[in-house]
Chains A and B, each alone.
Chain A
């Protein structure tokens, strides 16, 4: 057979690359080198990465190749390179969370998920761009400049994990790690034509994630295929004694579910409140087609109502800022990160230094949310704002419970629109927040969700996403629906959606 070209290697799925590594068709050093070359060629235009660790990735790859040659028993994904969102602590690699406050910080330890990734022998290509401390839906709130959508470089890649999604969409990595507090894995997946999964809260360890909102944050896979997401989910999932909110039970059988790819007899609930007014016609059209395909595959489509979802956005923008204002208080200029002395005050106190440091270190969106959270938690306002938001959270969880008595999964478009232009909503926070209207309820209730491509919207030719949500700890159902729909759509399109993405500048044609 003809040897695999670098373009073959970077466009194949992670599971296909894993098979090729096992078969000896390509080495991990070659595959990792192909991805590093691809990053060098296109990341100037995309800016998905904040830091690339070529030496470290190639060293891991060489070690995996050596062990494989020696006949060692390796993890199925050993040698498949991966990118990590910059909110995840990586020992020896800079970790900034997209903030000036942590510029140059190198953590002295690995997050649990990174430790598992390293133990399994996946070369870490680098750290991906994001909205500062994961606050945003466009990656424009990064202190290091925005990431560009590979489908149209003048548009946003979604956020906060726009870097991870764009890296995967631009074939700069076959796999990436994201984190999802209100949609930061799923919404960028929808916007870039890729796959993203937010596992059940507690399904993947949060140890070593720079916390935004601890009761909402969850790490998960960012990939090009549903099976790849399942493989990465299985690797990073499972109990961790270092995270007291970690579920002490095995990860659901997600890989088996992705292989099974069957929805016969499954009840699929369309959430009436997610999909009407405010959703772009092309996004709705692709969603309706996806539903028809699933019906054709034997699923039963029912309509369900979640009447309190209309309060989810408001509750989220009280709970998240409240938790964030508390979590981000750790950036006090004392033990790590930036320290700025107020000008002309050499005798400044610790408090003066903290005030000056946080003024210089946080961007606009972080400042907005920290101040909002401080307000919501302040005495006299606590009951009206934070207290009421917690009650809405209960009502939303009850809506889910009720809906899941009628349906096995709930579905909606992932985001109401396709990618908008860079800068378009930067100074209109409320308009920006609306991007996450369909993804936020899952975080409030802790249930898992997937987004996969549903096609291109007719009016602008940009990707739209299909979201499925399952009851807590039933993540496997997401993969059954996702893999089924993915296969039906690929059949209809004659290949994956990303085949239709435009050629990027600097791309070397094979």
Chain B
């Protein structure tokens, strides 16, 4: 559970792990019933509409300005998104 939370990039406290883990165990047990009818000869469906390859003409259309794109940013520096360091010290 702690490993999954890490994969999902959510820092869970011990109290939260104790609270959520048994709930998730019950849910996982319940949803496992899908395997009862998922035979090899049944094709999977990922999407309800049979649409593929939707194209548009390759023409320039207006988009957001830099100011608009940056308007919700937690931090901005010289008209750029300002973010925490990406690499660890050993990298």
Contacts and interface: CB of A to CB of B under 8 A. Distances in A.
Interface in B45-91: 45-49, 51, 54, 56, 64, 68-69, 71-75, 81, 83-88
Nearest to B40: A391
B4 A375 contact: yes
A465 interface: no
A385 B31 contact: yes
Interface stretch (A69-77, A346-354, A451-459): A346-354
A66 interface: no
B74 A390 contact: no
A352 B4 CA distance: 16
A376 to B, nearest CB: 8
Contacts of B28: 372, 375
Interface string A346-390: 011111111110110010100110111111001000001101111
A223 interface: no
B72 A429 contact: no
A384 B49 CA distance: 24
B72 A336 contact: yes
B49 to A, nearest CB: 5
Contacts of A109: 64, 68
Interface secondary structure of A, over-half rule: helix
B68 A108 contact: yes
Interface in A277-336: 308, 311, 314-315, 317-318, 325, 329, 332-336
Interface residues of B, number: 55
Contact of A370 (B10, B38, B47): B10
A312 B80 CA distance: 45
Contact of A315 (B6, B34, B75): B34
A106 interface: yes
B24 to A, nearest CB: 6
Interface in B1-30: 1, 4-13, 16, 19-20, 23-24, 26-28, 30
Contacts of A364: 19-20
A111 to B, nearest CB: 14
Interface in A97-114: 105-109
B33 A311 contact: yes
A446 interface: yes
A245 B4 CA distance: 31
A395 B41 CA distance: 11
A392 B54 contact: no
A472 interface: yes
Contacts of B8: 325, 358, 370-371, 373-374
A240 B1 CA distance: 41
A349 B9 CA distance: 13
Interface string A389-427: 111111101000000000000000000000000000001
Given A317-B27, A371-B20, A375-B28, A347 B85 contact: yes
5 contacts: A315-B34, A329-B9, A367-B20, A390-B44, A393-B45
Given A368-B24, A445-B48, 14 more contacts: A314-B32, A314-B33, A318-B34, A332-B9, A334-B81, A337-B72, A358-B9, A364-B20, A371-B10, A378-B7, A387-B44, A391-B45, A394-B44, A397-B48
